[in-house]
Amino acid sequence: MGYALNFNLIWRHFDKLWGGLLLSLELAVISIAIGIVIGLVLAVWYVSAGRVVRTIIAAYVEFIRNVPLILLVYLVFYGLPTVVDLAYSAPTSFILTLSVYSGAYLVEVFRSGLEAVPRGQLDAGKAIGLTPWQRLIHVRLPTMLRITLPALSNTFISLFKDTSIASVISVPELTYGAQWINFNTFRIVEVYLVTTAMYLLTGYALLFGLRLVERRFRAAR
Amino acid sequence: MLTQIAYALPFLAQGFALTLWVSLLVVVLSLIAGVLLGVGLVYGPVPLRWAVRIFSDTIRGIPILVLMFFVYYGVPAIGLHLPSFWAAVLALTLFKTAQVIEYLRGAVGSIPKGQSEAAMAIGLTFRQRLAYVIFPQAFRRFLPPWINGVTDAVKGSALVSLLGITDLMQAINQVIGRTYEAMPLYILGALIYFAVNYALSLASRRLERRFSFIRE
Amino acid sequence: MSTSSNDTRALLDVRDVSKSFGVVQVLRSVSLQVTRGEVVTVIGPSGSGKTTLLRCVNFLESYDSGSIRIDGKEVGFRDPGTRQRRSERDLAAMRAETGMVFQSFNLFPHLTAAGNIMLGLRKVRGKSEAEARSIAEHWLGRVGLAHKADSLPAELSGGQQQRVGIARAVAMEPKILLLDEITSALDPELVGEVLAVVRSLAEDGMTMLMVTHEMAFARDASSRIVFMADGGVSAVGPPKEILAAETTNERLRTFLARFRASHF
């Protein structure tokens, strides 16, 4: 043992961690926004589609859920540009990956949410003469969103943690900042203690905030 | 291209074997540690409960990658020697243990208090109550999420590649480094991971269905 | 209170037991003796501490002061008179000396009727599989369920489950049987079969302490009735005396009047 904690060097380079945290949040927010669009579109399509489309959507979901995220990150950043004529920065590549990744989880969330909408509500919508499209927009989606809000919050928080994988393609988010300080100052224990605290505090702050939003939504029913 | 990949197959197979070995170690070690700590969380004295609660919430609140770097770089920094393989296994096990603790808490917590009391009333000791009354009932609630979570261990094991351990992920990266055939190899790797994890999740779904019949 | 404090033959001897849950005092210096072969019934309004008292007797609940002895041995704490809890092993051994039947049956759902009875016989009494099985079958016969030995609790009616619960308790040959409102969760038409079993055990000389709302049964089957109110023993005596309409105990009279109004 005999390791003396000294946080001075950490505070001197704290901008690496602070900037990293902000980028982590940015990556998570953009990715979940795109992921929600992917998830919603595919979930609505899924519940009304035939077998072929369902199988394809299910295959997408199962594939993403059963492959390590780090492999997907490599595949999109190093693999994809070798076969298609695309050029993108590491952050863009990561956002693309995390969006497709979260989309797969959210299809499942939204699909089960759609199925949890009580039959009676749909029948009531029919009874007052709403078209299928109107029933979707005015009856099914609002109810479904309320049901799925907690799962959505959880997905967002776990995506926030998943952004740490972006460090493997040198995106300067929080984990990357921690490694930079680790390699340049060797205040190893200190930097990971501070990084751990930052992830924890941010994660629990997000959880707390999102639970408040959920409560507001439930109250507004 | 195909011949180059075929040439690399034995090397990939070695990496795959290591992936499975790491996953197995993590699953077994975390099962033991998680069940013990989970019992501590549910039945232990207040200080132990708090300790386990803080451990679990902290571990589950940070990315595995941070935990892994913390263990890998941090343990030698405080003067202990830990080979990178075991540092990786330790970090992944800590992470998985926190999950197992929560599965156990959920499963045991779902059993009515009267079961423990009835077991006490006939004179069973704490261990006997767990072994003959609580665990047999908690088992079917514990099993489906736990098996489901085994895929997390397999997926998480891909991170050990970052510590220079030649698992499947690292083997793929090394073969790509030699052949420059990035896309085919990543897809091959993805398919291998998919095959293992999909089989596991099918198994867990089947078990879930089987156990749903004997709900009271 | 009419308890003689030097009754050496008392099998169960509760002395000055008090207990609080937070600021609420649920037992106030309760004393109560039960001699061998006696059937003592505890009655009283809800919240009077009846069930808590019963749960203290086999130390499912701890108590703050006083002493509870069974056959001269202090139940939850180390002898003599210390407030040091017994070890887990000792407590288990002490609890095996008392049988308890619960309001909500609490049968082990993963074990058959026979399995429920055999568990304690095998693991606590150390009996062989075959011996435990034959004891289980004997007691299932006694409660009229010989044909249900291999049924799971979920396949039994409430009355049948409770009869298995009784068999599970008595098969351990406890010194005293504690019955905690054992018919309260049953449909009215199933109450009779359970009470019949209790009655036959009483006739065999089983020592019992029970909490019940079945006044007619309490009157017929008990040697003594204890009336509890506000955590204390308010009256003790033979059934005829306690359940008499002209009792001088104000609280008891109110309780009985209310009880008659709602049950007869």
Predicted pLDDT at B213: 47
Predicted pLDDT at A120: 83
Kindly indicate the confidence band of residue A4, based on its pLDDT and cuts at 50, 70 and 90: confident
Closest to A106 measured CA to CA, from A65, A52, A66: A65
SS (H, E, C) chain C: CCCCCCCCCEEEEEEEEEEEECCEEEEEEEEEEEECCCEEEEECCCCCCHHHHHHHHCCCCCCCEEEEEECCEECCECCCCCCCECCHHHHHHHHCCEEEECCCCCCCCCCCHHHHHHHHHHHCCCCCHHHHHHHHHHHHHHCCCHHHCCCCHHHCCHHHHHHHHHHHHHCCCCCEEEEECCCCCCCHHHHHHHHHHHHHHHHCCCCEEEECCCHHHHHHHCCEEEEEECCEEEEEECHHHHCCCCCCCHHHHHHHHHHHHHHC
Predicted pLDDT at A67: 96
Predicted pLDDT at B5: 75
pLDDT > 50? residue B41: yes
Which residue did the predictor score with more confidence, B30 or C219? B30
Which residue did the predictor score with more confidence, A3 or B53? B53
pLDDT > 80? residue A219: no
Q: Which of A47-51, A183-187, C173-177: highest mean pLDDT? A: C173-177
Interchain CB distance below 8 Å, B79 and A182: no
List the single residue in A with minimal CA-CA distance to B195.
A66
Which residue did the predictor score with more confidence, A140 or B104? B104
Which residue did the predictor score with more confidence, B144 or B57? B57
Q: Which residues in A have their CB inside 8 Å of a CB on B?
A: 1-3, 62-63, 65-72, 74-75, 78-80, 82-83, 161-165, 167-168, 175, 178-179, 182, 186, 188-189, 192, 195-196, 199-200, 203-204
Predicted pLDDT at B1: 66
Tell me: domain C10-97+175-263, CATH 3.40.50.300, correct? yes
Mean pLDDT, residues B43-61 taken together: 95
Tokens of C148: 């249900």
| All chains having 3 or more CB pairs closer than 8 angstroms to chain B | A, C
Kindly indicate the confidence band of residue B45, based on its pLDDT and cuts at 50, 70 and 90: very high
Interchain CB distance below 8 Å, B118 and C120: no
Which residue of B58, B64, B70 is the best one to mutate when testing the A interface, meaning the one whose CB has the most A CBs within 10 A?
B70
CA distance A102 to C96: 55
Predicted pLDDT at C263: 60
- Minimal Cα–Cα distance from C249 to chain B, Å? 35
Predicted pLDDT at C3: 43
User: Residues of A with CB below 8 A from B58's CB?
Assistant: 196, 200
Kindly indicate the confidence band of residue A163, based on its pLDDT and cuts at 50, 70 and 90: very high
CA distance A5 to C138: 70
CA distance A140 to A129: 15
Instruction: Determine how β-strand C208-211 pairs with β-strand C39-43.
Output: parallel
CA distance A105 to A113: 13
Predicted pLDDT at A87: 84
User: Residues of C with CB below 8 A from B112's CB?
Assistant: 104, 106
pLDDT > 90? residue A33: yes
Contacts by residues B183-188 (CB-CB < 8 Å, ≥ 24 positions apart): B183/A75, B183/A79, B183/A80, B183/A82, B183/A83, B184/B1, B184/B5, B185/B5, B185/B8, B186/A71, B186/A74, B186/A75, B186/A78, B186/A79, B187/A75, B187/A79, B188/B5, B188/B12
Measure CB to CB from residue C93 to each of B114, B123, B137 and give the nearest one.
Answer: B123
Any bridge partners for residue C177, and if so which? C99, C208
Predicted pLDDT at B216: 42
Interchain CB distance below 8 Å, A75 and B186: yes
Interchain CB distance below 8 Å, A3 and B77: yes
- Minimal Cα–Cα distance from B215 to chain C, Å? 10
Residue-wise burial string across C61-71, b where 16 or more C-beta atoms lie within 10 A, e elsewhere = bebeebbbbbe
pTM over 0.90: no
CA distance B155 to B113: 37
Sheet holding C39-43, edge to edge: C98-101, C176-180, C208-211, C39-43, C224-229, C232-237
Q: Which of A141-155, B74-88, B113-127, B196-210: highest mean pLDDT? A: B113-127
Interchain CB distance below 8 Å, B186 and A182: no
Closest to C123 measured CA to CA, from B139, B130, B107: B130
pLDDT > 80? residue B42: yes
**Domains of chain A with CATH codes:** 8-219 (1.10.3720.10)
| SS3 (DSSP) at B174 | helix
List the single residue in B with minimal CA-CA distance to A69.
B155
ipTM higher than 0.85? yes
- pLDDT, tens only, B178-215: 888 889 999 999 999 999 999 988 887 887 777 654 44
Are chains B and A in contact at 3+ CB pairs closer than 8 Å? yes
pLDDT > 50? residue B125: yes
pLDDT > 70? residue A2: no
Mean pLDDT, residues A132-154 taken together: 86
Which residue of B110, B122, B213 is the best one to mutate when testing the C interface, meaning the one whose CB has the most C CBs within 10 A?
B122
| SS3 (DSSP) at A70 | helix
Predicted pLDDT at A31: 96
Predicted pLDDT at C5: 43
CA distance A102 to A67: 13
CA distance B167 to B11: 10
CA distance B117 to C100: 9
pLDDT exceeding 90 applies to what percent of chain B? 73
Query: Residue C93: how many CB atoms within 10 A of its CB?
Result: 14
Q: What is the pLDDT along chain C (264 residues), one digit of tens a residue?
A: 344 444 457 899 999 999 998 888 999 999 999 999 999 999 998 888 999 999 999 999 999 988 999 998 888 888 766 788 888 888 999 999 999 999 999 999 999 999 999 999 999 999 999 999 999 999 999 999 999 999 999 999 999 999 999 999 999 999 999 999 999 888 888 899 999 999 999 999 999 999 998 888 898 889 999 999 999 999 999 998 888 877 778 888 888 888 777 665
Tokens of B93: 């096990």
Using alpha carbons only, give the angle A35, A39, A45 rounded to the nearest 5 degrees. Answer: 150
Are chains A and C in contact at 3+ CB pairs closer than 8 Å? no
CA distance B174 to B157: 17
Tokens of A161: 């943690």
Q: Which residues in B have their CB inside 8 Å of a CB on A?
A: 58, 61-63, 65-66, 69-70, 73-74, 77-79, 151, 154-159, 161-162, 169, 172-173, 176, 182-183, 186-187, 189-190, 193-194, 196-198, 201
Report phi then psi at C233, rounded to 5: -80, 120
- Minimal Cα–Cα distance from C146 to chain B, Å? 21
Predicted pLDDT at B100: 96
Predicted pLDDT at B105: 95
Delimit the domains of chain C by residue range. Answer: 10-97+175-263, 108-173
Pick the CATH number of B2-212 from 1.10.10.10, 1.10.3720.10, 3.40.50.300, 2.40.50.140: 1.10.3720.10
Predicted pLDDT at A127: 83
Interchain CB distance below 8 Å, C124 and B122: yes
Closest to A199 measured CA to CA, from A216, A166, A175: A175
User: Residues of B with CB below 8 A from C106's CB?
Assistant: 112, 114-115, 117-118
CA distance C48 to C53: 10
Predicted pLDDT at C39: 94
For all residues of chain A together, what is the average pLDDT?
Answer: 89
